[in-house]
Every structure is written in C-alpha cells, then in structure tokens.
Amino acid sequence: MESQNRKDRVEDWIQDVLRYRIEDKDKKRVLARCADIEAYGQEKNDSRLLGFAFFYQGEAYYAENKIEEMFSCIAKAVGYLNQSGQWELLARAYNLMAITLISKGNAPVALDYYLAGLRCCKEHGITGIVCSININVGFLYMQNRVYREAQRYFEDAYAVWCETKNARVRSLIMIYTNLATCYMLCGDLEKTEEYIEKIEKECEPEFTEMDYTYVECMKARYFHRAGKKELRDESISRIGKMIGGQIRVLDLFDDLYALCELAIEIERYDVLFDIIDQLEPIVVRAKMAYMGKKLLSLKIMYYQKNDMREEYVKGVSRFYELVRITEEESRKMISNMLKIRTSLERANESNAILTQKSETDQLTGLANRYRLTEYSENITERCLQTGEILSVEILDIDYFKQYNDNYGHQTGDECIRKIADCIKRLQNEKIFGARYGGDEFIIIYRGMNAEEVYEKADQLRQDILDLNLTHAYSEAAKTVTISQGICQDIPVDGNKSWDFLHVADNLLYRVKKKGRNSICIGNLHEEDQQVEL
C-alpha cells in the first residue's frame, strides 16, 4: 500500500503550484513542481494529475513568452482535463489555445476554440473564465471591424463580471478599455471619454504596470483622434518608460502594434523603433513568425513613407519569406488542432460508452434504476410544464419465485431477458422502459390517453403470452404471465415521479389480489380509469 507521506507530498506540490502561479511569483518553482506532479501522474496513470501538471506548465511558459512550449503543454493537457472532468481548467486551456492561434494568424480556428471554452462553461456551470473568454472574443471581432458584435461580447463580459463574487479588477479594466476602443473606432468619442473616466475612477488604484501600458495605448489613440496632441504625446512618453521590463508579448502585442501605426502616422519614428526594438527579440525567441511579419510590415510602411527604396525592397523580400513560414506554421497548427480534436472525440466516445454502461442494466440491456430515476424526474417536470398526461406502469412476472426455484436461476435470467426484449420492442419516443430490479419493470408513457396506454400494455401482456414460456408452477396460467399496475394523471405542482410509482405499485397489488395476468389503470387518487377499446 502506498505511503500516506507520498500522497501528502503530491498534495503539497499541487498547493505550491497554485500558490506560486499567482502574480507570476516564481515560474521556475511552478515548472519544477509541475514536473514532479507529471512524473507521479505518469507512474500512477492519473489523468487528473497529468491534466493539472500539463496545464500549469503551459501557463508558466505563456508568462515567459515560450509560446511553442506553452502550446505543446496545453495540447497535452486538453485530453487529460476532459478525461478527468476538470472543466474549468479545460475551458482555460481552450482560451490559451485560442490566444496562441490568433498570434499565429488563425483567427477562424481561434474563434472555434473560444466558443468551445464558452460551451464548456455553460454545460458545467463554470463562471470563473467566462468573462475573460467573452473579452477575447469581443477583441477578435473588434480587430476584424465587426464592432456591434464586439460590443455585445464586451457587455456580456461586464454582466458576468458584475455577477461574479470577488471578480478581478483587471477584467473590468480590460472590459472598459475595449469598450472605449470600440466606440473610438466607431467614431463615438463621447462614449470613449465616458469609459476612460470609468477606468480612472473605478480601476486606476488597482493598476499593474501592464494595465498602465494597456490603457495608455488606448488613450494615446483617443487623444490623437480628439485632436488633443499634448495629451497624446504625454501618453506616448509614459508608455516608453513602461515597456522596458518583461512584456507578455501575447497580451500586449496588438495594443503596441496599433500604437506603432499611430507613431508612423504622426512621424514619431523614435517611438516606432523603440517599441520594435523591445518586441522583436521577444518575437524571435518565441518563434512567432506571424508577429515577426507584422513588425516587418511596420518597417515597410516606414521605408515607403520615407522613400527608402533599397530598404523597402529588402523588407518586401523578407516579408514574402515570412509569409511562406507563417503558411507552414498555419498548416502545422491546424494539423495539431485536428489531432487534438480527434483525441477529444475519442475520449468523448469512451465517456459515452462508460455512461451508457453505467445507465444500462447488464442482464437486459434496458435502462437501469439510475437512468430510470433521472428520466422519471425529468419527464414528470416536463409533463407538469406542458400539461401532458403521464402514465407510469409497474409490472412483474407472476409467481417468478416459483419459476426461479424450480427451473433454476439461469433459466430465470433467460425469462427476464425475453420479457425485456418485448418491452424494448414497445419503446418509442413516447414510451420508456427500465428494469426496476429482480423481475420488476417500469414503463413510462408520455402524452397518451387511457385507451392508448391500455392498448400498449395489453399488447405487451399478449406478446409475453405468445412467448409460450412453460410455467407449471404458476397459479395464473401454464405459461409465464405478467401483472400490470398503471397510474395515469396530469402532474400538478408538488407531484414527483415517486407519487406515480407508489400508486402504480398499489394498483399492481389490486391485480394480484384479483388473480394476476391482468391490467389495472387508475389515477393519483387510486380511482380506476374506465377504458373503452
């Protein structure tokens, strides 16, 4: 048996990762602990630990601008997170993958992964990452000049932020800044100014260095459009002082790129090349050819504007080379995406098989008691909402104990299987069958009147008689027969599926008292229904 000390050590590693990942405290320690967790997870074939380790390794690499390493880890994490049901981390993984895809120039595929993240959140009741994904989708729309849809996503993000307890102020900064940018690009400078005021009043005390950079980039563009050149230049000056440290290239690249476009327009080439000099080494180390291509496009704009023919021709030639590289990157990225998707589909198929097994009675192939409980509760609620008639039947095999005792359990099991097969043939979109236990079965009929239910129930009774299974020890007939009690009514507030089942069981008891091999239909008050066929 594994020592408790080792398990405790693994839990300590997990807590270390969660503690030191916050605010980028110690990425080396996070990576070391993740490596320990990964090794232990591989040893124990533990998908929960492997998903956790690969995700947080990827997150740490993201903070260090090691994009290839980040994507590799996140791609590995996705399958394990899906397998182990770590839904919030899976949604966050989709988000990181989408951010990476945008940096590679694959916006359509990125949008697909953002939406997959949102679906994951919706299906599993996750709120923590929804705000961030909505912001990122909105930003993607805004980049592609679909401003109204962008605003909708930013507003959705704000609604989620307001509902989320202990929501991060940085998310609010991003929402306000993106809304300000969106209105600015639409030409509504009054609305832009309104959001700038919100940022200054509600968010500025909580600013990090990156937040200042992010917001000042937006302000510089706003001041320029508003004709406030002095304020524009002050913002640009502040940005120059702030970007000397570590830059998370994927977080700030687009904002700094837009500022560079402004710098070319106003001929602030010192600002242009200061930013390029800061970004270029990071982009090269991160092997981000698409971003390298965008930086080169800025230089080409500068060469063209300043009639630098030789540099312009060299730049265009290099740009063509980068186009080929980014196309190859794109193919590889899409290939990886397809592999990940295939892996997830296979995992989901396996999960579906496991779910089916967990909800299916092994002897008969009918729904088991677990599935019956889920279905009966859902259908009772549905009929309550729609006013449809609900009928619940309980049936059992007449004198089955005597059958089992005299013919043996193997023959008894075969008898149960054959009756289950008759029930399967009866099932359709309105009729659901399940094994309740032993020789008892439940059939649920939706939206069928008493005559229709009785006709189906009697058909089942006759089908079982037609099996002609000898039962010399029955006091009802010389072959196997069944007794059926059916409760039929329209649910009202307060009714549960159990109410119908309880009455059906009492009606079954009436049938048995009268001699078996028969059917009794009644309502929730146990009043017999008059059936005319």
SS3 per-residue string spanning 57-85: HHHHHHHCCCHHHHHHHHHHHHHHHHHHC
List per-residue pLDDT tens for the chain, 533 residues long: 445 566 778 888 888 888 887 655 577 888 999 999 999 989 888 889 999 999 999 988 888 878 888 888 988 898 888 888 899 999 999 999 888 888 777 787 788 889 889 988 888 888 888 999 999 999 989 988 888 899 999 999 999 888 876 567 888 999 999 999 999 999 999 999 999 999 999 988 888 878 888 899 999 999 999 999 999 999 998 887 777 555 566 678 888 999 999 999 999 999 999 888 888 888 888 777 778 888 889 999 999 999 998 988 888 888 878 777 776 766 665 565 555 556 555 555 555 544 455 578 889 989 988 788 888 988 998 998 889 999 999 999 999 999 999 999 899 999 999 999 999 999 998 999 999 888 999 999 999 999 999 999 999 999 999 999 999 999 999 999 999 999 999 998 878 888 899 999 999 999 999 889 999 999 998 776 655 44
157 phi and psi, to 5 degrees? -60, -40
Per-residue confidence (pLDDT) for residue 440, from 0 to 100? 94
Nearest to 36 by CA among 14, 58, 8: 14
Nearest to 464 by CA among 515, 396, 522, 362: 396
3-class SS of residue 489: strand
Distance CA 395, CA 27 (A): 64
Per-residue confidence (pLDDT) for residue 343, from 0 to 100? 55
For the chain, report the end-to-end CA distance as a whole number of angstroms. 67
Nearest to 101 by CA among 336, 269, 284, 272: 336
Residue carrying structure tokens 């009966």: 376
Nearest to 178 by CA among 132, 223, 224: 132
Residue carrying structure tokens 């999960």: 351
Residue carrying structure tokens 């094994």: 435
Nearest to 84 by CA among 299, 350, 425, 342: 350
Nearest to 469 by CA among 409, 422, 418, 408: 418
386 phi and psi, to 5 degrees? -95, -15
Alpha helix locations (H) across 391-524?
A: 400-407, 409-426, 450-467, 497-514
DSSP conformation letters of 95-126 = HHHHHHHHHTT-HHHHHHHHHHHHHHHHHHT-
Give me the amino acid identity at 32: A
Whether 130 and 107 have beta carbons less than 8 Å apart is answered as no
Per-residue confidence (pLDDT) for residue 493, from 0 to 100? 83
DSSP-assigned beta bridge partners for residue 128: none
Residues near 137 by Cβ (< 8 Å), separated by ≥ 6? 111, 114, 115, 118, 153
Other CB atoms within 10 Å distance of the CB of residue 209: 13
CA dihedral 235, 240, 245, 250 (to 10 degrees): 70
CA dihedral 299, 301, 306, 309 (to 10 degrees): 80
Going from the C-alpha of 315 to that of each of 56, 103, 318, 321, the distances in angstroms are 39, 21, 5, 10
Record the tokens describing residue 14, joined without a space.
Answer: 């997990």
Distance CA 246, CA 318 (A): 27
Strands 440-446 and 519-522: unpaired
Give me the amino acid identity at 233: D
Give me the amino acid identity at 3: S
3-class SS of residue 291: helix
Q: What is the CA radius of gyration of the chain?
A: 33
Per-residue confidence (pLDDT) for residue 532, from 0 to 100? 44
Per-residue confidence (pLDDT) for residue 462, from 0 to 100? 96
Distance CA 277, CA 51 (A): 37
CB under 8 A, 24+ apart: contacts of 380-385: 380/491, 380/495, 380/496, 380/497, 380/500, 382/446, 383/446, 383/447, 383/490, 383/491, 384/491, 384/492, 384/493, 384/495
Nearest to 297 by CA among 66, 141, 105, 144: 105
Per-residue confidence (pLDDT) for residue 330, from 0 to 100? 63
CB under 8 A, 24+ apart: contacts of 323-330: 323/293, 325/289, 326/104, 326/105, 326/289, 326/290, 326/293, 329/104, 329/105, 329/289, 329/290, 330/104, 330/105, 330/106
Give me the amino acid identity at 429: E
